[in-house]
Chain A
Amino acid sequence: GAVVSQHPSRVICKSGTSVKIECRSLDFQATTMFWYRQFPKKSLMLMATSNEGSKATYEQGVEKDKFLINHASLTLSTLTVTSAHPEDSSFYICSARVRGRSNEQFFGPGTRLTVL
Chain B
Amino acid sequence: AQSVTQPDIHITVSEGASLELRCNYSYGATPYLFWYVQSPGQGLQLLLKYFSGDTLVQGIKGFEAEFKRSQSSFNLRKPSVHWSDAAEYFCAVASAGGTSYGKLTFGQGTILTVHP
Q: Which residues of A contact B (CB under 8 A)?
A: 4, 6, 32, 34, 42-44, 46, 49, 91, 93, 95, 97, 102-110, 112
Contacts and interface: CB of A to CB of B under 8 A. Distances in A.
B68 interface: no
Contacts of B27: none
B43 A49 contact: no
B69 interface: no
B102 A97 contact: yes
Contacts of A95: 44, 104
Interface string B44-75: 11100101000000000000000000000000
Nearest to B99: A57
Interface of B: 32, 36, 41-46, 49, 51, 90, 94, 101-109
A43 B108 contact: yes
Given A46-B105, A109-B42, 9 more contacts: A46-B104, A93-B44, A102-B102, A103-B94, A103-B102, A105-B102, A107-B36, A107-B46, A108-B43
B41 A110 contact: yes
10 contacts: A4-B43, A43-B107, A44-B44, A46-B104, A93-B43, A102-B102, A103-B51, A104-B46, A105-B104, A108-B43
Contact of A44 (B32, B45, B49, B106): B106
Of all A-B residue pairs in the complex, the 3 with the closest CB atoms, nearest first, are: A109-B43, A107-B44, A107-B43
A4 B44 CA distance: 11
Nearest to A2: B46
A43 B106 contact: yes
B62 to A, nearest CB: 21
B57 to A, nearest CB: 13
Nearest to B100: A49
A112 B41 contact: yes
B92 to A, nearest CB: 8
